[in-house]
Structure 1
């Protein structure tokens, strides 16, 4: 098939559908109360061994311990006092409540004005004191390094640090995060967000291609000989800016030599492995293709966004004459 896939555009979106946004975003809530003030102008954790109970798996508990251990070596420089976090063993039956409770959760609840936080913790200082245990939420499902970073970041808030404080590589408000490994788009029959897709024509002279686009999409709606999922719904819209798939006729393009078509895919890579896991958009570029041959190119490229098995013979086996005729059958 002529230059079916000329390139892939990858938009790294971590936590996106994993966490809706592509960054580590948290706001912190301060805890206060007259009985919790230290009265001595010191942070309530200054010079302490802070006991931490972790609600999560053994893996999550170990990662939490790793993330909090960062402050054993760095609290003096950045927070201005020594501190040590000690994570309790899961079977321990201590006589008193922990100082901090870390909960690994599927979804972090509202935290300030952040819509999709990866973690949330109160920011403590000498004025707020601490109502023990201080509760920290960490989103589960992140890769190991990302989990450690989120835990260290929230630990910084417990020590009084804000998003503008050093160290910037830990306390920055926005950070790229990765999830645990996920199935790549190429391994999924339908790697789109849902089974309803919209398609639009773009570019000059696009009206000349509408009948061929309709012809191609009729074939897709019929199942494309098994090349698309059975429950797929496709409709044409007028605005390319809102469409999932854009068909763009152009006179020339470096993506292919001579007449042909190219497929560009855009999607998310939440696990950071360099491969798209979910498609969020596609462009089918028709390069020097006459209107009467556009239908075959559109159908051929469209089915490439699905991975149900072999390509249909009706597309792969069409010769140059058939591509301009009733290849649909």
Structure 2
């Protein structure tokens, strides 16, 4: 009977960021009220790569087709070379691709930022748009479309909602999956805690001792399968710990498993695979307390992304008695 592991990956949400418009800079003189882009050809310089320039052109083309419908006027855009001084009079826009946009208006973190221009806005040309780089093509194009919408006077509550709403789920460029990284966490030090509402203080302390045995084995390298810079600290608070160990009477593990791990993480590039682990829950299913250390050690290797084929023999080839009895590495 095989009682090794059952691993379940929980659903992972994409990174959610927001586009934001800076406050209008000043109100112009009263008189004829018309948007400065209305019926104009707007010169746009893009400080970015060829890919980023092409995606910006896509965003501009979208608004050339939809400005009349959503902004109430026709407009055209003309890409100019970086550093070129347009020879025609009229509004000028500079789109800068940056590593971090930072704050924008009342938003501390944004994927993009642009002034929201309307008929009474006085702007010092060029109007500057910032777009965070590192997103995939669809997300970069969407952020650029969103920010150009602000230039045309659109707010987060305006149509088209699929472009202008404030918060969006954006995907980054491809990143290494957790299975491809030496340590699938953002930190090489993991904290582990015991959780169990039905445990007495004495029982919790006994489980903590078993977890400490397993943590020491893994922190010392687990027979060479865990990188040398990795460490595992046993802590008291399960709410803030990276890894939580919980004895349970039953769980949605494989029917013959004595333990299983629930892995949570992020998938910023939206490829369907976790790139970074954020939390692991180790469930000990109907086990005697003295059997906990073998199962916790086995599941901690899952938490560190150790490939199944690389599991040390003392864990991979353990007998039933070794998996169900005392084991101290």
* TM-score, normalising length: structure 2: 0.91
What SS class does the counterpart of residue 113 from structure 1 fall into? Answer: coil
Asked if structure 2 preserves the Cα contact closer than 8 Å seen for 1:3 and 1:256, the reply is no
Q: For 1:143-158, what aligned pairs fall within 5 Å after superposition? A: 143-158=136-151
Deviations 1:138-175 (A, max 9, x none): 00010000011000000000001100001000000011
The match for 2:94 is 101
Pairing 1:142–2:146 present: no
Q: In 1, are the aligned partners of 2:190 and 2:242 still within 8 Å (CA)?
A: yes
Q: 1:164 aligns with which of 157, 166, 169?
A: 157
Kept in 1, the 8 Å contact 2:194–2:238? The answer is: yes
* Residue aligning to 1:2: 3
Match of 1:218 among 216, 219, 222: 216
**How far has the Cα of 1:210 moved from its partner?**
1.8
In the alignment, the residues of structure 2 paired with residue 94 and residue 273 of structure 1 have an alpha-carbon distance, to the nearest angstrom, of 41
Q: Compute the displacement of 1:177 (Å).
A: 0.4
Q: Partner of 1:254 in structure 2?
A: 252
Match of 2:292 in 1: 294
> In the alignment, what sits opposite 2:280?
282
Q: CA deviation at 1:3?
A: 5.1
Structure 1 residue 90 displacement after superposition: 4.8
Q: Give 1:298-317 correspondences, 5 Å limit.
A: 298-307=296-305, 310-317=310-317
How far the C-alpha of 1:282 sits from its partner, in A, is: 0.6
Assess, with a 3 A threshold, how the Cα gap between structure 1 residues 184 and 32 changes in structure 2: closer, same or farther. same
Match of 1:323 in 2: 323
- For residues 207-238 of structure 1, the C-alpha deviation after alignment (integer angstroms, 9 at most, x for no partner) is 14222111111111211112222111221222
Q: Is 1:112 matched with 2:105?
A: yes
Residue 132 of structure 1 pairs with residue 132 of structure 2 = no
Alpha-carbon spacing, 1:259–1:144, altered in 2? closer, same or farther (3 Å): closer
Give secondary structure in 1 for the equivalent of 2:9: coil
Q: Distance in 2 between matches of 1:188 and 1:110?
A: 32
What residue in structure 2 maps to residue 13 of structure 1? 14
State the distance in 2 between where 1:120 and 1:267 align: 28
Distance 2:287 2:306 in 1: 27
> Which residue pairs with 2:43 in the alignment?
51
40 and 75 in structure 1: CA distance in 2 versus 1, 3 angstrom threshold? same
Measured in 2, the distance between the counterparts of 1:38 and 1:2 equals 79
SS at match of 1:116: coil
Residue matched to 1:19 = none
* Per-residue deviation, 1:5: 3.3
User: Counterpart in 2 of 1:31?
Assistant: 25
Instruction: Deviation per CA, 1:31-89: give whole Å up to 9, x if none.
Output: 2265xx58420011111111100000000000011012111111111111111122224
Q: Is the contact made by 2:288 and 2:325 (CA closer than 8 Å) also made in structure 1?
A: no
Q: Provide the rounded CA distance (Å) in 1 between the counterparts of 2:167 and 2:283.
A: 35
Q: Is the 8 A contact 2:27 2:120 kept in 1?
A: no
Tell me by how many angstroms 1:323 deviates: 2.9
Unaligned runs of 5+ in 2: none
Root-mean-square deviation (CA), in Å? 2.0
Whole-angstrom CA distance in 2 between matches of 1:244 and 1:196: 9
Q: Is the 8 A contact 2:188 2:230 kept in 1?
A: yes
Look up the match of 1:177.
Answer: 170
In 1, Cα distance between equivalents of 2:101 and 2:126:
18
1:197 matched residue in structure 2: 190
Q: Deviations over 1:83-134 (max 9, x none)?
A: 1122224585644797000000000032112222100000001111322100
